[in-house]
Structure 1
């Protein structure tokens, strides 16, 4: 079989003949480890279903064991999807040289014929979605200490992407299934296929809407105006999921057709906020849990310019400080009503792309 990844000279030849994807950067591919298709096929026992870890919008992830006994996560991209190729290239470009304790590390790739494969570090406890939101047989009992650690770890990873990297990165798909957990349940942000680079001199970019129902910031869902604050909104929703133990995409909250953000805000206005807490948590510090929920409200405010930076979120979560609730305004949200009231249930937690989505947005209280 031919070499797993094209060298830069081969890429030039392919480009001249019109056979290579225009976005493939030979120098970039030369800078990361290459695996042959046969290597990864052997590592995953021919991509056997028993090694399947999950499936996303652009491919399937398998557990693999390399010859030296190193376990890896092998993400195969759909060969039929042109979009999948773009996401593959974006993911390589975005995180090939990124290193942070709360970001999944990309180990290498394979480009062999129609095959597009990414190889990541393997995280033993799979995703936060599986640990927290799936059936009880796969759930992990998470006490408040673990949940708060997960919230803070994700916040630190996002703060690094948003404020420390140059250029900054907006992830665009922060959700429970893209938060992976290691042996000690430390969180790592994964799946950068939808990510976008954000130079300092740009305040926003206009882009086709891509993300997941239940997590999309209203201003992004309405007009495709993307800023770093879209990730902040998604993170706020994630906090509410971690505390409630329920999915944001389910609309039946409090016996009515409400989204998680709506229901949580209603409880806040009625002074019943602790009713949001997952009943699986028998004991928890009331004041700290309430502070985390209110941080989620700051992150999900309807006006994006009122949401904090992720470094500020880290500070609010990690320090026992009193939040200025007088500055807090109601959250924004949108509902995908293309297919009626049940549309969110149909899309669930899978990535979706929408060019135009009807939205509902709460009124913002003026300063």
Structure 2
């Protein structure tokens, strides 16, 4: 009987547990990827799921009302990457809520209200009723109607993060947060423009994608949007099929691009349960605009932050650097009417130490190129938004620092002439007492009388001079007047570099006795100008009938081009019909002298330097072709125009002298001079010259870098040196008859047999990297295709040399024309047999 009772009791207990089992196992709500209207949620309601109530079908993302780990009182409605617990999107980032605040989904939209039932955030109104809220596998949170048409999605409302498949359109941006513990929008933004991807601080640009060596530009099509995929970052044109910019990255199925609170844009891939960064810009902490606060100087040592001389940190001003003098203060910003309210005070300028620079100087054009320091300061004084200036005395360039001031940074190489001045207000009263007023009035009267006497004397002298000039011949006077008018036109050209006098250049070059080179555009002399800077002075001899004003217009354009692989134009001179250009002097001379040195004791150029030279040349040409405001085609790429400085740093010279071309007119150039051996086949036809003409010449120079000798070793006659309009040389050479090798044809034949090592300079005695020899040869042959459109762009070449872009197979059929250049096929076969 007891046994039966115990058995019944056990069965009843088991039955009760079985009936209660669903209840006991349902303490945590089951996550769905879709919910329907009349749904509400708080963090408390879903606390066992960490506030999550939606999950993507693949479980990668969740939507939740969660808090930051460090601040448990601030809650946000967010989409989270589950594996890393990373917030990729947040609705109410500017207005955090409490754990009991409510999120509501109705047929009219999605909204968040605080504890007082005050609306904190909501989606816009729609023409259709909401049918459901869904979280997709991509991480996109969407609202759809009954026909499953998307009415709103989180991808179109980006915060500080971008993920794979999400597009950032022109006019939209990522906005950085205040800090790790505060998601509120701060002063940094990553914006897509029609031409570029830029980082900005308070509206001021401090980084561009186009300035990055790893950024490969495909076309000049206007940008429509930015997007990431598994392999990289891309800027697309309007139709989505044309890539304008691309950056190749490590392959990863999950990537996020994030604008950090410190102003750094990074892209990371999720690998091995952690984020691995493979793109961080800007890398240099001193290039970030507010690293050291307002006017703090960021030193590359450590880095450390210090105030400039005459300034100190002020805790009451958020640790900004302010003037030490109590009687001097920094100006306030403009009010709505454009006034600062301080124009009655005395404006002064506090000079910064040499070697200090400002990030804005690298992204803003100077307001003027021909302006002395006093005028530059006057321009700033009359502009209440101007907070300071940078001025370069040699060129007269004047840069304004407007609106909000950031940190100062170290000066980059080549910009040592810039000096900064911070605008300040003197608080010392400028209104004297009555006695001082009386003394001032007497002093003013004395000054006025003295000045009047001076004016009368000056007028008398001018009348005498004018009477004497009446004796001069009228034609002579007319010529002088005409020259003056032309000079005034030249002075009015914006962007001109410093203008040297002829006497200055005569003294600098010891009366043009120190000749260091000559070329198609003139003779080059070494000189030392007044400030002890060593320069190269080029005397232009082939500008034809170009007028003075046209020459200066082109000079101004060349002077505004700055790149690490281009020779810097310091100034110019016009003396009668003679024109001179003054460049920085390159102390190692030209590639031609170093590569083809005839002295037996000349050191051989090592392979690593050769590869670096090839890459530097490519970067410089890529900038000329696609990085400038106006496309520049060099038209005379050869070793003589590749100069080397310091540690064999490449500097391309003579760019812009042949012809400055706009994008619209880049095919109009058909009659320029070039150098025999480096001319592309299209020079001999009526086809227009394009940037692909430079690509061909670059390919020829690459082969000479590999072999260490001229491609064409036979002596060319004077008629073969240049190509003039309608009369070009035949490319059928006699090199084989002279028993010499035409190296491009040999390179093609050896490429077919994959025998790259035998093409390297024998003087290197095997000190080469075979894979790099192959890279240079394959790139060079691709550059030599007879059809210009088959040649890669220089930005492509840079990407291939850097290993970011696959090197395609050179098209042999487009290179067979080299046989006409190099001689008979039978002779080629005999030669290959001999060296094999």
Asked if these proteins are the same fold (TM beyond 0.5), I'd say yes
Q: CA deviation at 1:75?
A: 1.0
Q: CA deviation at 1:224?
A: 4.8
Partners of 1:299 and 1:273 lie apart in 2 by 17
Partners of 2:771 and 2:739 lie apart in 1 by 28
Q: What secondary structure, in the 3-state scheme, does the structure 1 residue paired with 2:764 have?
A: coil
Describe the superposition over 1:43-85 as per-residue Cα deviations: whole angstroms up to 9, x where unpaired. Answer: 111212xx2211112321111111221111111123xx55286
**Residue matched to 1:274:** 757
**Residue matched to 2:791:** 307
**Selected match of 2:612 from 135, 149, 157:** 149
Q: CA deviation at 1:243?
A: 0.9
Partners of 2:518 and 2:751 lie apart in 1 by 36
Residue correspondence of structure 1 range 30-45 to structure 2 within 5 A = 31-45=496-510
Partners of 1:234 and 1:191 lie apart in 2 by 14
Residue correspondence of structure 1 range 206-225 to structure 2 within 5 A = 206-225=669-688
Decide which moves more: 240-249 or 144-153.
240-249
**Selected match of 1:62 from 492, 514, 525:** 525
Q: What secondary structure, in the 3-state scheme, does the structure 2 residue paired with 1:264 have?
A: helix
Q: CA deviation at 1:25?
A: 4.8
- Which structure has greater helix proportion? 1
Residues 781 and 810 in structure 2, CA contact (< 8 A), matched pair in contact too: no
Partners of 1:104 and 1:159 lie apart in 2 by 15
Residues 127 and 176 in structure 1, CA contact (< 8 A), matched pair in contact too: yes
Describe the superposition over 1:102-152 as per-residue Cα deviations: whole angstroms up to 9, x where unpaired. Answer: 000100011122331110001101111111124226955211110000000
Higher Cα radius of gyration: 2
Describe the superposition over 1:314-344 as per-residue Cα deviations: whole angstroms up to 9, x where unpaired. Answer: 010111765332756543559799xxx9xxx
Q: What secondary structure, in the 3-state scheme, does the structure 2 residue paired with 1:239 have?
A: helix
**Selected match of 1:261 from 735, 739, 744:** 744
**Residue matched to 2:703:** 240
Residue correspondence of structure 1 range 8-23 to structure 2 within 5 A = 17=482
Q: Indicate whether 1:298 and 2:782 are aligned.
A: yes
Partners of 2:545 and 2:587 lie apart in 1 by 26
Residues 100 and 157 in structure 1, CA contact (< 8 A), matched pair in contact too: yes
State the TM-score, normalized to the length of structure 2: 0.35
**Residue matched to 1:109:** 572
Structure 1: gaps (5+ residues):
1-12, 342-367
Q: Indicate whether 1:185 and 2:648 are aligned.
A: yes
Describe the superposition over 1:146-202 as per-residue Cα deviations: whole angstroms up to 9, x where unpaired. Answer: 000000001000111111112211111111000000011111110136433333345
Q: Indicate whether 1:28 and 2:493 are aligned.
A: yes
Structure 2: gaps (5+ residues):
1-477, 715-734, 824-836
Q: What secondary structure, in the 3-state scheme, does the structure 2 residue paired with 1:248 have?
A: coil
Residues 54 and 60 in structure 1, CA contact (< 8 A), matched pair in contact too: yes
Residues 15 and 21 in structure 1, CA contact (< 8 A), matched pair in contact too: no
Describe the superposition over 1:200-250 as per-residue Cα deviations: whole angstroms up to 9, x where unpaired. Answer: 345622421421111111123333520110011111111001111111332
Q: CA deviation at 1:36?
A: 1.2
Partners of 2:625 and 2:692 lie apart in 1 by 9
Partners of 2:677 and 2:610 lie apart in 1 by 20
**Selected match of 1:130 from 582, 593, 605:** 593
**Residue matched to 1:195:** 658
Decide which moves more: 111-120 or 121-130.
111-120
Partners of 1:21 and 1:210 lie apart in 2 by 29
Q: What secondary structure, in the 3-state scheme, does the structure 2 residue paired with 1:229 have?
A: helix
Partners of 1:155 and 1:305 lie apart in 2 by 18
**Selected match of 1:164 from 588, 605, 627:** 627
Partners of 2:485 and 2:597 lie apart in 1 by 40
Going from structure 1 to structure 2, the CA distance change for 1:188 and 1:253 (only over 3 Å counts) comes to farther
Going from structure 1 to structure 2, the CA distance change for 1:192 and 1:27 (only over 3 Å counts) comes to farther
**Residue matched to 1:173:** 636
Decide which moves more: 95-104 or 269-278.
269-278
Going from structure 1 to structure 2, the CA distance change for 1:325 and 1:21 (only over 3 Å counts) comes to farther
Going from structure 1 to structure 2, the CA distance change for 1:322 and 1:161 (only over 3 Å counts) comes to closer
**Residue matched to 2:803:** 319
Bigger RCO (CA 8 Å, 6+ sep): 1
- Which structure has greater strand proportion? 2
Going from structure 1 to structure 2, the CA distance change for 1:14 and 1:95 (only over 3 Å counts) comes to farther
Partners of 1:157 and 1:174 lie apart in 2 by 11
State the TM-score, normalized to the length of structure 1: 0.77
Q: CA RMSD in A?
A: 3.3
Partners of 2:688 and 2:742 lie apart in 1 by 22
Partners of 2:544 and 2:601 lie apart in 1 by 31
> Aligned pairs, how many?
321
